Amino acid sequence: MSQQPLRDPSVARTVVITRPKAPSDSWQRAFRGRGFQVQHLPLIEIKGPPEPRALQNMGSHLDQFQAIMFVSPQAVVQFFQHLELDMSAWRTPCWATGGGSKAALLEAGISEPFIWMPQDESGLWDSEHLWLRVKDTVQAGQKVLIVRGTDQYASGPGDMDRGVGREFLSQQLNAHGLEVVYVVAYQRLCPVWQEDKRQSVKEFLKPTHVWVFTSSQAVHNLVAHLKPVDFSNARAIVTHERIAKALHDVGFGVVLLSRPDVVDVLRSLESMP
């Protein structure tokens, strides 16, 4: 990535990154490299699987699945951390919707031919466009494993088994006669803040700060900590329409939609007035 100055160097702007620490590190480096100040404010706390044995037991049954869908980079990381697998023999297609998940799969030892994602030229990396890519590779009677997270708000054993994420894909698979099996690989928790933390975060709602959201759950957690508060001066860049809607609903003043790639997010940042 070329190192170029901001469009208007006289405008000091701080980027508020809301992603968990590990996935956000490369984004922080990219933003700082282009002259932005960075505040890292993880709005989702990641922990391991609530039932590690259930995840470990899945390792001996992976050959029954036509494909494995990973809903996020954390799903990839936690899945392979808790399984002892011979990665040199891996032949199962892995589905993902973002560059972060692809990078995590490559890091885990999955070779690129076995990683299926939406076509880059679509401009949208989500489950709807992933389905367009994979629908002709599966057929009725097959099984697909979806590796997911679960929120601390899950309200019962059924919710814990299923987790959260990618409902559209599950519905399409079921409608075409495939069996969908879920496994929860990690927990997404709302971080605990003290009052002084809440007060300091309110300073980030000024127009000189730009929030970057890659999860609607992060929006919900922010609102849970700060509500009631006036978000009308706040600015944000988001990587999906669902996140944009969540921010509009709570009153964010400016919300720009970007592809979920750090290069595109940087372009959006630099185009903000």
% of the chain at pLDDT higher than 90: 58
Enter the DSSP assignment of 71. -
**Considering the chain, what percentage of its residues have pLDDT values greater than 70?**
87
The residues, ordered by sequence, that sit 6+ positions from 42 with a Cβ below 8 Å of its Cβ are 18, 19, 20, 21, 24, 191
What residue type is assigned to position 171 of the chain?
Q
- Write down the H helix ranges in 96-153: 99-108, 127-134
Q: How far lies 213's CA from each of 10, 76, 210, 223, 234, in Å?
A: 25, 20, 10, 13, 13
Q: Which of 3-17, 19-33, 79-93, 177-191 bottoms out in mean pLDDT, i.e. has the lowest?
A: 3-17
Contacts of 136 (CB under 8 A, 6+ apart): none
- Which residues, listed in sequence order, are joined to residue 179 by a DSSP beta bridge? 143
pLDDT tens per residue, range 101-150: 898 999 999 999 999 998 765 555 678 889 999 999 999 999 999 999 98
pLDDT in tens, 183-200: 999 998 999 999 999 999
Structural domains of the chain ordered from first start: 47-189 (3.40.50.10090)
Question: Does the CA dihedral 22-261-135-216 come out positive or negative?
Answer: positive
pLDDT tens for residues 202-251?
A: 999 999 999 999 888 899 999 999 989 999 999 999 988 889 999 999 99
Q: What is the pTM of this model?
A: 0.76
95 in Cβ contact with 70 (< 8 Å): yes
